[in-house]
Amino acid sequence: MDDELWSTIGDPTRRRMLDLLLADGRGTATSLSEQLPVTRQAIAKHLAVLERVGLVHPTVAGREKLYRVDKAQLGLAVVQLAQVSHDWDSRLQRIRRIAERIQRDGGTRDAPSPSTDSDEGAR
C-alpha cells in the first residue's frame, strides 16, 4: 500500500467522511460539514485528499460537487489493509515465540560475555 493512501485513510476525519458517504450514498462538502465538527473549508480539503487517491469521485450538482465513494478503490484498499494485518500478525507471533523462548531459558539469551573487545584493548 502506498504512503499517500495510508496517510489518507489514517486520518480519523477522512475515515468518518467515508463512513458518512457510504451510509448516505453521496454527499457534498456542505452536507458533510453539518455532520462533522469541522468547517466546510476543512471538509473540502479532506475531500480533495480523498479524491487525489481515488477513494471519492465528484460530479457537479448545481454550485457544489456531489461526492461518491469509489467502491472498487475502497475494496483495493481493504485488501491491502488485510494483507498488512496478516503480515503484522505473523510478525507479532514470531516476536511472541522469541519472548516465550527467552523467558523459558531464564532471560539469558544473547547476554554479553564477561569479556568484551573494549576490555581486551585495555589489557
42 in a structural domain: yes
The radius of gyration computed from the CA coordinates of the chain, to the nearest angstrom, equals: 25
Q: Is residue 117 part of a domain?
A: no
In a domain, 56, yes or no: yes
Eight-class DSSP state of 75: H
Question: What's the CA gap between 78 and 123, in Å, rounded?
Answer: 60
Q: What is the pTM of this model?
A: 0.69
Alpha-carbon distance of 65 to 18, in angstroms, equals 15
In a domain, 66, yes or no: yes
Give pLDDT tens digits for 45-93.
999 999 999 999 999 988 989 999 999 988 888 888 888 888 889 999 9
Give the chain's end-to-end CA distance (angstroms, integer): 54
Instruction: Count Cβ atoms within 10 A of the Cβ of residue 32 and give its class: 0-12 exposed, 13-18 middle, 19 or more buried.
Output: buried
Residue 33 lies in a domain: yes
CATH assignment of the domain containing 56 = 1.10.10.10
Sign of CA dihedral 14, 24, 53, 49: negative
**Is it the case that residue 120 has pLDDT exceeding 50?**
no
Distances (CA, A) of 106 to 32, 77, 99: 57, 43, 11
Residue 100 is assigned to a structural domain of this protein: no
pLDDT, position 108: 58
In a domain, residue 120? The reply is no
Is residue 25 in some structural domain? yes
In the block, cell 451510509 appears at 23
pLDDT at 30: 94
> Count of domains in the chain?
1
- Which residue matches cell numbers 522469541? 98
Q: Which domain holds residue 34?
A: 3-70
User: What's the pLDDT at 110?
Assistant: 55
What pLDDT score was predicted for residue 121? 44
Structural contact between residues 80 and 3, judged by C-beta atoms closer than 8 angstroms: no
